[in-house]
Amino acid sequence: MTNDTHHSTATTTTTESTTASTTRTVAAYAAERPDAPLAKTTVVRRAVGEHDILIDIRYSGICHSDLHQVGEDWGTGIFPMVPGHEIAGVVSEVGPGVTRWKVGDRVGVGCFVDSCRTCDNCRAGLQQYCTGEGGAVFTYNSTGRDGLPTYGGYSAELVVDEAYALSIPDNLPLDAAAPLLCAGITLYSPLAHWGAGPGRKVAIVGLGGLGHMGVKFAHAMGAEVTVLSQSLRKREDGLKLGADHFRATADPATFTELAGGFDLIVNTVSADLDLSAYLGLLRTDGTLVQVGAPEKPVSVNAHALISGRRSVAGSMIGGLPATQEMLDFCGEHGITAEIELIRADRINEAYQRVLDGDVRFRFVIDASTI
Ligand code: NAP
Ligand code: ZN
Ligand code: ZN
């Protein structure tokens, strides 16, 4: 989730190569410029290095962050842009120094593909918050330590350092597991960090890609879960996903009847909300965790904070250890995303449907159609 201004023109060359020791040209879907529709193209992947693995991408989820970045909602992007940071695939080649993986392993790659490895955050396993020079290298719309732009998962293959891949448990289908790499960890991490569990009342705001994973995790962790959705349209689905209660935020009674009721609220909404109204739903010492990343700044009424010693916090994805822990938790509990599998030539249509709120609950691209 970063933006920098490095631009490169060496992105769509047609170097032909498929051997381990050289770069390879792979099929991909890219936006050529901000807000342009995604179109089929090719990108060059680096040669498989000493500690790299080559991943045959099988599935790639569509995260709302992909739309934000293609649309430059968060600032200047690097174009052409190949989005995609919910990647599930199979190892097809390993570098000579690779110890963690072998050909055939089922692996995932999430939002970052490198970090400094030496700062306090990297050493603590919080690579997403890397404070080393250049910070974390994000899976796309970022600049690698080789100075080249990164390209994401809407593509056929990916070369990544072995340390930045995660193991996908055998019992999870790869298509429905792909969204765990961003939507999954983004909700698992704050729910675990702020102690969702038995005896705790948790609200998930927004039942989209992130929100529906939040409901599954909070329920599996033993918390009492309420969905706060704009309307009751998704009520039946929400209850099936594990919610105990489902309330519409368009109904003012929701805010009076549930006032002071929650220990933890996780806001996944991609638009700016009146957070002060949601703060009123927290108990004394409760926390509202912001994970949605709207274009506009969020603001809060000071009185809503101080009147109940309430906190507003933020959380970004999760580090490598937490992501593996989340995947293992999913393996144990049989948790995956609810997906609609699409062909790559349907990406633009899917983007529009995400904007229209017409997805239950995550689009996943079948990478064999790229
Ligand atoms: P999504 O599938 O589009 O879901 C967003 C949900 O928010 C919608 O389903 C809708 O839920 C609700 N919503 C949308 N517009 C709204 C509005 N104007 N007012 C009130 N509610 C609205 O998106 P997503 O992929 O889950 O991503 C959600 C946000 O999280 C995005 O901003 C994304 O960039 C961000 N994100 C953050 C992180 C992180 O690390 N912090 C990671 C990934 C994504 P209802 O229909 O239930 O109301
Ligand atoms: Zn994402
Ligand atoms: Zn670091």
Residue 64 has pLDDT above 60, yes or no: yes
Confidence of residue 97 (pLDDT cuts 50, 70, 90): very high
* Lookup: tokens for 283: 């108990």
Amino acid present at 355: L
What pLDDT digit, counting tens, does each position of 148-200 carry?
999 999 999 999 999 999 999 999 999 999 999 999 999 999 999 999 999 99
Q: Give per-residue pLDDT as tens, 284-343.
A: 999 999 999 999 998 899 999 999 999 999 999 999 999 999 999 999 999 999 999 999
Buried b or exposed e, range 92-128, using 16+ CB within 10 angstroms: ebbbeebeebeeebbbbbbbbbbbbeebebbeeebbb
Contact present, 110 and 323 (Cβ < 8 Å): yes
Instruction: Average the pLDDT over 218-224 and give the result.
Output: 98
- The gap from C-alpha 327 to its chain's centroid, in whole angstroms, comes to 13
As a CATH number, domain 24-182+319-369 is 3.90.180.10
Bond preceding residue 361 cis, omega within 30 of 0:
yes
Q: Please check the confidence at residue 3 and state whether its pLDDT lies above 70.
A: no
Can you give the pTM of this predicted structure?
Answer: 0.94
Atom of ligand 1 nearest to the CA of 314: 41
Query: What's the average model confidence in pLDDT over 205-209?
Result: 98
Q: Which fold has domain 183-314?
A: Rossmann fold (3.40.50)
Q: Rounded to the nearest whole angstrom, what is the distance from the C-alpha of residue 294 to the centroid of ligand 1?
A: 9
Collect all residues with Cβ–Cβ distance below 8 Å to 303 and sequence separation of at least 6.
Answer: none
Residue nearest to atom 15 of ligand 1 (CA): 271
CB neighbour list of residue 22: distance below 8 Å, 6 or more residues apart = 47
How many C-alpha atoms does 165 have within 13 Å on its Cβ side? 31
Predicted pLDDT of residue 21: 64
Q: Which residue intervals of the chain bear CATH 3.40.50.720?
A: 183-314
Helix and strand counts by DSSP (H, E) for the chain:
11, 17
pLDDT of residue 298: 87
Which of 210, 239, 266 to mutate for ligand 1's pocket (most ligand atoms within 8 Å of CB)?
210
* Ligand 1 touching residue 219 (CB < 6 A): no
**Cis ω for the linkage preceding 80 (within 30 of 0):** yes
Give the pair of three-digit tokens for residue 315.
Answer: 């959380």
Q: How many whole angstroms separate alpha carbon 277 and alpha carbon 271? A: 15
Between residues 80 and 4, which one has the greater pLDDT?
Answer: 80
Q: Is the predicted pLDDT of residue 89 greater than 60, yes or no?
A: yes
Three-class DSSP labels, 227-247: EEECCCCCHHHHHHHCCCEEE
Mean pLDDT of the chain: 94
Residues of the chain with CATH 3.90.180.10: 24-182+319-369
- pLDDT for the residue numbered 5: 38
Tracing tokens 């991490």 back to the chain, one arrives at: 189
Can you tell me whether residue 29 is helix, strand or coil? strand
Q: Is the pLDDT of residue 267 over 60?
A: yes
